[in-house]
Amino acid sequence: MFDTIVIATDGSESVRRAIDVALDLADRFEAGVHVLYVVDESEVESSPERLRDEMREALADRGEQALAEVQEETEREVTTAVVEGRPAGVIGDYARENDADMVAMGTRGRHGENRFLIGSVAERVVRTCPVPVLTVRQLADGETEDGPTGTPEMA
């Protein structure tokens, strides 16, 4: 079912569960794994011109660190890439160019009214990516895989 899975990471905690889920799927289906970090060119462009090269280098270093962290999570061979551009577009292009069957990525798990107004990279990837996208929500404090702990809130 899955031959190639692309894991898009930004190196944050919110992507941790997505990495675990994607690596588990890759193991179950014996799929190849690509791990992608996108240096967001808008972050670089929004910095003062004299600092752009340093910013680009710092973000690329952060990307390499994020990729290394994923590699440490698995014994399987993974293909890694750090690419500069607009994250949603780069992720979709990368998936297409590498014949991916799925992209996995984390979300920050917004709740309530904000869930309809996410405006995030994950939302843009879901809307524009040419392959299926698995988004995995970060657990809230006190929440477990089975649901919230403690007394449920009354609405």
Radius of gyration for the alpha carbons in the chain, expressed in angstroms and rounded: 16
Residue type for position 78: V
Q: What is the pTM of this model?
A: 0.82
Would the pLDDT of 18 be above 60? yes
| pLDDT (0 to 100) of residue 142 | 59
| pLDDT (0 to 100) of residue 64 | 97
Would the pLDDT of 154 be above 50? no
Q: Are 63 and 108 in contact (CB under 8 A)?
A: no
Secondary element (H or E) of residue 40: strand 32-40
Domains, the chain, with CATH or none: 4-120+127-139 (3.40.50.12370)
Instruction: For residue range 57-74, list pLDDT tens digits in order.
Output: 999 999 999 999 999 999
Would the pLDDT of 39 be above 80? yes
| pLDDT (0 to 100) of residue 143 | 56
Residue 56 neighbours by CB under 8 Å, 6+ apart: 39, 44, 84
Q: Are 9 and 66 in contact (CB under 8 A)?
A: yes
**Separation CA 132–CA 95 (nearest Å):** 10
**Separation CA 17–CA 49 (nearest Å):** 36
**Per residue in 48-64, is it b (16+ CB within 10 Å) or e — as a string?**
eeeeeeebbeebbeebe
| pLDDT (0 to 100) of residue 111 | 47
pLDDT bucket at 1, cuts 50 / 70 / 90:
confident
| pLDDT (0 to 100) of residue 103 | 97
